Amino acid sequence: MNKVERALVDDDFKNPLIRKIALEYFVNRYVIGNLPRAPIVQLDTPCHIWTAGKRDKYGVYSITNKLLDTTFKGKAHRLSYHLFVGPTGTSLILHICQEELCVNPAHLMLGDHHLNAIHQLQNKKSPTTPHLKHVNDLTTADVKMIRVLYYKHNYPIKIICGIYKKSYSCIRNIVTYKTWNI
């Protein structure tokens, strides 16, 4: 029988044996790091830094199971999301903390290439110490994007606050249409 190599996918995690093997592999391959360095987001939990394999600045896994005659390979942050959050489908897994080796499920979120580009751009533009802009600095396009991030892409208000440098109440009022009724 030929050994199969492939990434783990959503359906694999429905199999208790595969889930158990993946979890046992995962738990001893990261260390608790520092608080995130991302300038636009205030996260109060430290990064979990992947200590096993690394490729192209991301952590990678390689889990061999002789019983299934299969080696599962893929990115470690996707494995973490699958194990502790849920299915990913074809979505990207974004690092809210901007640490590519982080596998802390609280620092990961589903997204797409567009949201990833926005997030990266905002982090590069942001000062080291975030500060809040005046509400008047927002444009109609900003307000529409805030609502898209919140309603369509499920960005938490706290993340949107960091991207736009606004207070929680400001963003909450926008997404609930209490202000900027456009």
Task: Kindly report, residue by residue over 65-115, the tens digit of the pLDDT.
Answer: 787 788 888 999 999 999 999 998 888 998 988 888 999 999 898 888 888
Where exactly are the structural domains of the chain?
4-111, 131-182
Question: What residues are paired with 35 via a beta bridge?
Answer: none
In whole angstroms, give the CA distance from residue 153 to residue 135: 23
Residue 172 clears pLDDT 60, i.e. is over it: yes
Is the whole-model pTM more than 0.85? Answer: no
pLDDT at 127: 41
In whole angstroms, give the CA distance from residue 158 to residue 8: 31
**Mean pLDDT confidence for 10-25:** 89
Residue 179 clears pLDDT 80, i.e. is over it: yes
Q: List Cα–Cα distances, 140 to 48, 117, 143, 181, in angstroms.
A: 38, 20, 5, 10
pLDDT at 133: 46
Q: What is the CATH number of domain 4-111?
A: 3.90.75
How high is the mean pLDDT of the chain? 83
The pLDDT confidence band at residue 164, using thresholds 50, 70 and 90, is: confident
pLDDT in tens, 50-72: 998 899 889 999 888 787 788 88
Residue 11 clears pLDDT 80, i.e. is over it: yes
pLDDT at 37: 65
Per-residue exposure over 72-94, b if at least 16 CB sit within 10 Å of its own CB, e if not:
bebbbbbbbbbbeeeebeeebbb
pLDDT in tens, 141-157: 888 889 988 888 888 88
Residue 23 clears pLDDT 80, i.e. is over it: yes
pLDDT at 105: 93
The pLDDT confidence band at residue 38, using thresholds 50, 70 and 90, is: low
